[in-house]
Amino acid sequence: MSAVTLNNFSKSYGKMSVLSGIDLTINSGEFIALVGPSGCGKSTLLRMIAGLEEITGGNIEIGDRTVTDLAPKDRNIAMVFQSYALYPHLSVRSNMGFSLKLRKVATEKITSAINSASTMLGLDQLLERLPKALSGGQRQRVAMGRAIVRRPDVFLFDEPLSNLDAKLRVQMRSEIKSLHQDIKTTSIYVTHDQIEAMTMADRIVVMNKGNIEQAGAPLDIYDRPESKFVAGFIGSPAMNFFTAEYKPNGSDGFININDECTIPLPKLRTLQQGTVECGIRPEHLSLSKEKKTGHSIKVTVDVVEPTGLATIVYLSFGDQKICFYTSDRPDIGPGDTVYLQLSENKLHLFDVNTGKRLN
């Protein structure tokens, strides 16, 4: 277990900057989920930590060592990729022991490391098989086992579950989480799966265009996104946004979404008055057939998606699309006119120019 510290970590390919001045400390034993849109630099960041990619600027410390100039093999890091990259001609046992053998570790030690990892991962019955005779989930576990036997200071995962079917993903997700609870190796886990990030991580790091937008505990990020980008990126279905006018009102304030919808809220400290981006999550709306209060907007139902567990409804507010999520089964259909009420204490306000949080 070791902390990982990135100081002003940057990467350019020629003139194109891919990562600009990343500063991040990952605590010893922490599990970090790294998320962000495709191309924002997640894999590049992992590869730089592993030493597979040269860095353009900054430095990296693992524990109390500065490893910036060390070769990958000297960093004591293990990486698990989306493609499991197992040696096809080697058995599960040999795949798992390969790196230890290369390092000339004593045979008994290799055997005992393989045995303990294979028991942990439920691979005991499969040790003599070749990778081609394994299912996707089993191969993924071998890739994990190969990483575990090395007892690395840090695990790096680059979308390790994205090749698996939905059910297996859920199973592997909880297996990786419980594994981390057992061995507590500092881990950085790249994923496109929101639920994986929310459920597995101690902290989520949200990246955008080579920068860190926000880092924090999953529910803190969900409840209090610091920018419109994070608000729109974290959460599925995604947050709805409206353009609204903010005005102060004595010691308080209010926003107008249109002439009919006025919502009071605490005074903003950083804005006198003007246009704001107002966000609200689909589950913080409530639907009614009659107009109940002035906190509601009149909308038209486009599509109703019952999932069994919940109902997701897509609606139009003028030419704007809105998503509503409920655990009820509302009796509505396409073309119906209904009202959506906005919970006043669930609004997120953002600066229209900078996208930064205002409330």
Phi, psi (5° rounding) for residue 248? -75, 155
What does the alpha-carbon distance between residue 50 and residue 53 come to, in Å, rounded to a whole number? Answer: 8
Helix axes 107-121, 136-148, angle to 10 degrees: 140
Supply the minimum distance, in Å, between the C-beta of residue 47 and ligand ATP. 8
Can you tell me which of 35, 42, 144, 268 binds ligand ATP, judged by CB under 6 A? Answer: 42
Q: Counting contacts by CB under 6 A, is residue 38 touching ligand ATP?
A: yes
Site string for Mg ion, 6-45 (x = CB under 5 A): -------------------------------------x--
Contact 96, 129 (CB under 8 A): no
Supply the minimum distance, in Å, between the C-beta of residue 36 and ligand ATP. 6
> Which tokens hold the place of 167?
């059910």
Give the one entry of Mg ion, ligand ATP, none that residue 13 binds, where binding means its C-beta sits below a cut-off of 5 to 8 angstroms depending on kind.
ligand ATP
Site string for Mg ion, 38-67 (x = CB under 5 A): -----x------------------------
- HSE (CB half, 13 Å, CA atoms) of 187? 29
Q: Tokens 């279905």 label which residue?
A: 237
Classify 180 as helix, strand or coil.
helix
Give the one entry of ligand ATP, Mg ion, none that residue 44 binds, where binding means its C-beta sits below a cut-off of 5 to 8 angstroms depending on kind.
ligand ATP
Supply the minimum distance, in Å, between the C-beta of residue 232 and ligand ATP. 17
* Spatial CA neighbour of 234 closest among 201, 261, 260: 201
Q: Counting contacts by CB under 6 A, is residue 194 touching ligand ATP?
A: no
Q: Counting contacts by CB under 6 A, is residue 212 touching ligand ATP?
A: no
- HSE (CB half, 13 Å, CA atoms) of 168? 13
Can you tell me which of 4, 6, 31, 41 binds ligand ATP, judged by CB under 6 A? Answer: 41
Q: How far is CA 21 from CA 124, 206, 210, in A?
A: 45, 15, 8
Contact 84, 142 (CB under 8 A): yes
Among 42-50, 169-177, 252-260, 290-298, the segment contacting ligand ATP (CB under 6 A): 42-50
Residues that bind ligand ATP (CB under 6 A): 13, 18, 36, 38-44
